[in-house]
Structure formats: structure tokens, C-alpha cells
A and B are shown apart, each in its own frame.
Chain A
């Protein structure tokens, strides 16, 4: 029996150490994988790259490597640096023949970020329904919260009871609009600190996308029909100043779409290759003329520039490759296989084995033979064969963690 208990101990210790030791080594060896800031110059019609060097100096170059000063960079990117240019009274009256004023530039400028964590995160499924047309400058916090799953229910904050009348009103409105319960997802901006309210977008059980908000105390429900052609995994509501779009949709197949505020909830697809919604991050920088879409994958950053009106590519994309992370080099030598629980793509903890057989596998084989040498001869008997097989598996697969487990429990 002792052999069985020893085997269990070695296996569990190997597993735990195959998480703990690589986690410590990773902390000690990992290097930053920061990308430079890339912005498309409306005047030069090419990308400009701003980067901080190792000696903490700011450099500005274009895609051909031509250097620029910080002031030149500001002048060449008026759509980005307009506040700085206003400060120095050097904001041009027209850009590419189009008259511009700071207010308009501000209204047309917004950013949006997408990270896989947005779709892989535990969330508290309660929401605030603001009055969308209150006539007030600031949004006022409602007296209740609502849940939307098997039905819609408003819960009074003071009494912690369901407001049946309001719940029935919204339930009826959703049913009349053809919403099929249970709701699959609800997206909205819960904060009251936004310029205006556009309510929520919600997927019904048939994965159709509905728009839900409250106007003058009454429910407003519309089928956007965006879900008819797309399997939507995420909707970001943007509340942009010019009210031209509701937000951006991410589809399961990796395409991105902007959802327009016209009556038909029309969609325009971003003219970029599909992303992997579970692994890639996106940053969108919008201005009067362009939509710059930066897609970050584990290997690179790809910067696309699209025309603001059509979302078609305006210029060729610019690609920055990721610098090698020292941790990966170390891991390739030390750990043929290791365990992780967290991921930068998810807020959930999940056990996952990272396998990287290569030189580390050769080293772990040598380690195992070294282990056999330090064992006393009597312990390498047929009686101990199952234990030695477990030793071999643990050391060869996990490397150092397997060796430590085998040495701790003999």
C-alpha cells in the first residue's frame, strides 16, 4: 500500500510544483512585451511610430525610419494632437481641404478596446435602467435594478422586492417585440457618467439582438436584426459624442461591425481580417477621417487604417512583431510541460497544460537517468517497478518539479 500512497503523493506534488516552480521562474524572468504607439498621419499619409527607448527617451519615426521631433509629430498628427496644437495656436483651419474646429474634432474622436476577458468573465447579472430621454443634463440613478434572464424583473433597492407593475410592463413589451426568453446576454454601460443613455442590447434564446431602453418611463424594444446574419459574442456600447453609432459588435467568426443609429440598425463591417475573439485584443482609435484598428495577437501588433465613412482599408497595414520574452526561452529549456491556472485572455481560473517538447525533453530524460543513479540499487527492483514508472513519467514530463517530487517521496 505504501507504494500506492507514494505514487499518489508524487503525482499530486508534481502537478502542484509544475504550476508553482514555473510561476516563480516566470516572475523572475519575464520581460515586458510593450508595443510602440502607432498613429496614422493624415498629412504624411503614412504611419508614425512613437517609442520609448531603453534609456527612457521618446523617439518618433515614420514607417521608412525618418526621424521626427516631438513637435513635428504633433503637427503631423493634428487629429490626435489637436489639444496640444490648440495650446500653441498651431491647429490648422483645414485638414486635407476640410475645415475643422476643435469641437468637431472632439466629437469625432473616440477610442474602443476589446479584450477576450470581456467575454470570459464572471459578472453580476443586475443592471440599471436609466431614463433615456429625461431632459436632464446628467443621468439620474434609478430607484431599482433589473435582472433579465428567464424574464425581466425590476427590484426596488429600498425594499428588495420586485416591482411587479414595472416588470410586467417591460415583460409584455419584450414579448410583443418577439423576444424569446431566456436572454443569452445583456450588454450595456452601467455607469451614470456618460453623455447620454442608449440602454441595453440583449441576445434572446434564438441569438437575435434586441435593443432595450426606457423612454419617458415606457419600454422601448426593437429587434435590430443584427443577430440574423451574425453569431454575436460581444457588443460594446460607445455613447459617442456625434451619436452616429450605438457601438461595435464582435461576431463569433471574428468579424467586427459598427452598429449605426439609423432606424434600421444597419451594420458596417470593418475591412480587416477576422480576429480570434478568444485570443486577440483590439484597440480602435477613431477620428474625423479614419478608424485605426490595432489588432494584438500573441506574435504581433497589426495596425490597420480604415476610412471613417466606409470602413474600407485606406492604406496598407503596418505590422510590429513581438520582442522575444526571456521567460519563453527559459521555459523551453526547463519545463517540457507545466501547469497554469490563469490566462491573460480570461478572468476564469482553469487548469491548462502548456506543452513544449524540445530540448527540455532531452534534459528531462537525462535528469531521470541521473535520478536512477542516485537511487540505491535495492530500490530498483521489480517490486518497485510501478513507482519507478511514475518517477520516470513525472521527471520526463515535468522536468525539475517531477524530480523534486520524486526526491521528496521515496
Chain B
């Protein structure tokens, strides 16, 4: 009985999640298909290489030159984050519809946090699927060291996608174009930190610092919301 009762009166948070899902489902599907396409293509390439060139040659070039397979995913994580934030927050900014959302019977902070949380969870699920696919796929052909080498290469890009989502949300919610431009420049500098061309694993000492910046940048959108309410 209790479960039926909950089903009939779902919490506002879940209603908000559903609203965000309606806005973003097609974008998420497109992103998922793009990841599936590129990963499948990479694995076909990997298998062909081993078949045509032979395991000896391919393993030698990986072990001696540290070659990685997933370069093509580099900016896809970033695009995924930007796209999700755009489809979630642009409709809210058209005709200032965000005002209606903020008038829901929930504290404003909870509303904004729920919207951001939805986006972060959606990206987390998507990126975990990609991470898992790379792990399982590379592990089929190569030992764990080479799998970890490839995973270490994509890890900063993956966090870059999360950062791109939060920063795009911040920029999109900002009501003034001039300030949006300034936010955009700061966001570009921040995102650059995730995309240095370095050896896989080189980011290990830097990632805790970058993740701290990501956590703190959740607050950026609240700054934009306050400015939106002030009618700047």
C-alpha cells in the first residue's frame, strides 16, 4: 500500500528529474549513439590491426611507444557535457521560463540543485558505461597494464566533460550577455586544464585539484540564478 501511495504522489525532486528527462532524452540518446559509434569503430580498428599486422608488431608499438586507442573520444566527453547543459537550460532561459520553475513549491536552491544533480547523474551513468566498455573491450585483447594505460588517458577527458556541463550551465543561466562572455572566457581557461597533451597517468597528481575545482564550480550556477532573480 505504501509503495502505491508513493507512486501516486512522487516527490517534487523526482518530478523535476522527469521534467529534465523530457528535455534531455534525445540529446542523451544522440550522445550515447555517438559514444557507441566511436567505441565500436575503435574496437573494429583494434581487431583489424591485430589481425593484419600481427600481435607481435602491435604489442611492440604499444609497449615501446605507449600508443593509446581512444584519442577520438577526447573532445566527445566535453561535447556531451556542453550539449546536455544546453538542452537542459536553454529552454529555461527562453522567455525567462526559469521564473516559473523557480516558483515551484520547493526551495530555490533545491530546485537548481536537483536540475544540476540530474545532469550530473545522467553524465555519470553515460561516462561509466563508456569507461566500462573501454575496460572490458581493451581487456579482451590486452593485459591489464595496457587497459589501465588507456583508461588513464581518458580519465581527465571524462572529468573535463563533467566540468563542461557545470560551466555551460553557469554560462547559460547567466542573464546578461556581457557577463556570459566573461564567464565563457573563464570556463575556457578552466576546461583547458583537462586537455593537456600528456602521457597517460600524467594527470594523477593533478586530478584531485581539478576535481576540487569541479565540486566548487557547482556553486557557479547559483551565482547566475541570483543575478537572474535580481533581473540583471
B2 located at the interface, meaning its Cβ lies under 8 Å from any Cβ of chain A in the complex: no
Give the Cβ gap from A59 to chain B, nearest Cβ, in Å.
37
Are A16 and B193 within 8 A (Cβ)? yes
Q: Which residues of A contact B141 (CB under 8 A)?
A: 160
Q: Which residues of B contact A387 (CB under 8 A)?
A: none
Are B145 and A12 within 8 A (Cβ)? no
Q: Quick one: CB contact mask for A340-382 with B, threshold 8 Å, 1 for yes? A: 0110000111110000000000000000000000000000000
Contact of A341 among B149, B190, B196, B219 (CB under 8 A): B196
Q: How far is the CA of A4 from the CA of B9 in the complex (A)?
A: 35
Are B217 and A124 within 8 A (Cβ)? no
Are B216 and A145 within 8 A (Cβ)? no
Are A158 and B66 within 8 A (Cβ)? no
B202 located at the interface, meaning its Cβ lies under 8 Å from any Cβ of chain A in the complex: yes
Q: How far is the CA of A145 from the CA of B145 in the complex (A)?
A: 11
Q: Which residues of A contact B186 (CB under 8 A)?
A: 13, 16-17, 408
Q: Quick one: CB contact mask for B119-150 with A, threshold 8 Å, 1 for yes? A: 00000000000000000000011110110010
| A1-20 contacts to B (CB < 8 Å) | 1-2, 4-6, 8-9, 12-13, 15-17, 19-20
Are A124 and B145 within 8 A (Cβ)? yes
Are B201 and A122 within 8 A (Cβ)? yes
Give the Cβ gap from B58 to chain A, nearest Cβ, in Å.
8
Give the Cβ gap from B44 to chain A, nearest Cβ, in Å.
18
Q: How far is the CA of A360 from the CA of B39 in the complex (A)?
A: 50
B60 located at the interface, meaning its Cβ lies under 8 Å from any Cβ of chain A in the complex: yes
Are A124 and B63 within 8 A (Cβ)? yes
Q: How far is the CA of A166 from the CA of B142 in the complex (A)?
A: 19
Supposing A12-B217, A158-B55, A341-B206 touch, asked if A20 and B145 sit within 8 A by C-beta, the answer is no
Are A157 and B202 within 8 A (Cβ)? no
Give the Cβ gap from B144 to chain A, nearest Cβ, in Å.
9
Nearest residue (CB) in A for B221 is A5
> How many of chain A's residues have a CB under 8 angstroms from any CB in B?
40
In the complex, which range does the number of interface residues on chain B fall in? 35 or more
Supposing A145-B63, A349-B205, A351-B206 touch, asked if A121 and B199 sit within 8 A by C-beta, the answer is yes
Q: Quick one: CB contact mask for A163-200 with B, threshold 8 Å, 1 for yes? A: 00000000000000000000000000011000000000
A217 located at the interface, meaning its Cβ lies under 8 Å from any Cβ of chain B in the complex: no
Q: How far is the CA of A409 from the CA of B182 in the complex (A)?
A: 9
Nearest residue (CB) in A for B170 is A9
Are A408 and B63 within 8 A (Cβ)? no
Supposing A1-B226, A20-B192, A141-B60 touch, asked if A126 and B146 sit within 8 A by C-beta, the answer is yes
A125 located at the interface, meaning its Cβ lies under 8 Å from any Cβ of chain B in the complex: yes
A39 located at the interface, meaning its Cβ lies under 8 Å from any Cβ of chain B in the complex: no
Give the Cβ gap from B118 to chain A, nearest Cβ, in Å.
21
Given A20-B189, A145-B59, 18 more A-B residue pairs with CB atoms under 8 Å apart are A5-B219, A5-B222, A9-B219, A12-B190, A19-B193, A122-B200, A124-B145, A126-B143, A128-B60, A141-B56, A158-B55, A347-B198, A348-B202, A348-B204, A348-B205, A349-B202, A351-B206, A408-B179
Question: Could you tell me which B residues sit within 8 Å of A by CB distance?
Answer: 55-56, 59-60, 62-64, 66, 140-143, 145-146, 149, 152, 179, 182, 186, 189-190, 192-193, 196, 198-206, 209, 213, 216-217, 219-220, 222-223, 226
Can you show 5 pairs from A to B with CB atoms below 8 A apart?
Answer: A5-B222, A19-B189, A349-B196, A351-B209, A408-B179
Question: Could you tell me which A residues sit within 8 Å of B by CB distance?
Answer: 1-2, 4-6, 8-9, 12-13, 15-17, 19-20, 121-122, 124-128, 141, 143, 145, 147, 155, 157-158, 160, 190-191, 341-342, 347-351, 408-409
